[in-house]
Structure 1
Amino acid sequence: MKISTKGRYGLTIMIELAKKYGEGPISLKTIAQANDLSEHYLEQLISPLRNAGLVKSVRGAYGGYILADLPSQITSGDVIRVLEGPITPVEGIEDEEPAKRELWIRIRDAIKGVLDNTTLEDLASHSEDGQTDAYMFYI
């Protein structure tokens, strides 16, 4: 499984919203400028996140987007699944011989474990304090 720019930039949006949680809506323009990303591309990514109930939009002159839940309640797995689909290292696991099937299942479960146990709160606080070794992920 390879995470595309959809997943990476979508996670960037969500982390930025988590950093500003409780401060009101944040515009995609602000997020795009802060991360040197295309605002147009972020507009394409926000729609599925909103449809999945992960973000809410606020209209008006001071509108933008806010998280639909606490940053501690939204995982990176939630975001990746919305934008990338199911977490599967290979297609057709059920057709593999038992030894290989077990390997692919263990890899899938390890990836799911990391994604589902890493919240937006974890990622937002990690990037704010500037520590690069705060989390060790073992797969």
Structure 2
Amino acid sequence: MLDLAYYGQKELPTSLSEISNRQDISLSYLEQLFSMLKKNNLVGSLKGPGGGYFLAKDSNTIYISEIIDAVEEKMETTSCNGKANCNNSQQCLSHKLWEDLGSHIRNFLSGVTLSEVIESNDKSFIKFKEYA
């Protein structure tokens, strides 16, 4: 999504193979992710030659937590996945600490948009490659 927000142009499709090459991510994995992102109305797509994906809305209205939820990633920080059965069917001593941390992470990511990540970062976390 960061690659699409950075390199993509509004409603002009970017192919997954371009993203795959720039970010060194498996094309089949991207296909799975973008299928879920499309189902959750975060991206749109055009089929056929010259087709690909584009952001379904402005990057300043897409929150990181929405992306994580769309691709069905969990933000649990407890080893029991929030079920409080981490120590022989009982809550472990540090459960509340990890549960609170998970809550802070979710709250933080719910307030950060794609555009904020791109604008406020030195972009070193995005692999920038020059193509001739």
1:34 partner SS: helix
What amino acid is aligned across from residue 89 of structure 1 in structure 2? T
The equivalent of 2:109 in structure 1 is: 115
1:15 aligns with 2:2: yes
Output the CA distance in 2 between the equivalents of 1:96 and 1:117. 30
Greater helix share, structure number? 1
Between the aligned residues of both structures, percent identity stands at 31
Report the TM-score when normalising by structure 1.
Answer: 0.70
Distance across 2 between alignment mates of 1:77 and 1:124: 16
Q: Is the 8 A contact 1:16 1:124 kept in 2?
A: no
Matches within 5 A, 1:83-102: 83-90=71-78, 91=81, 92-93=83-84, 96=91, 100-102=94-96
Q: 1:107: how far off?
A: 0.7
The match for 2:97 is 103
Residue-by-residue CA offset, 1:64-89 (whole Å, 9 max, x unaligned): 00111110111111111222444221
Q: TM-score of the superposition, structure 2-length normalised?
A: 0.73
Query: Residue in 2 aligned with 1:44?
Result: 32
The structure with the larger Rg is 2
Deviation for aligned residue 1:23: 6.2
Please list the CA deviations of residues 31-56 of structure 1 after superposition, one character each: whole Å capped at 9, or x if unmatched. Answer: 11111222222112111111111111
Identify the residue that residue 125 of structure 1 maps to in structure 2.
119
* CA distance 1:87–1:67, change in 2 (3 Å): same
Query: Within the alignment, does 1:55 sit opposite 2:49 as a pair?
Result: no
Moved over 6 A (4+): none
Supply the RMSD in Å over aligned alpha carbons.
2.4
User: 1:101 Cα deviation (Å)?
Assistant: 5.0
- Distance of 2:58 and 2:114 partners within structure 1: 9
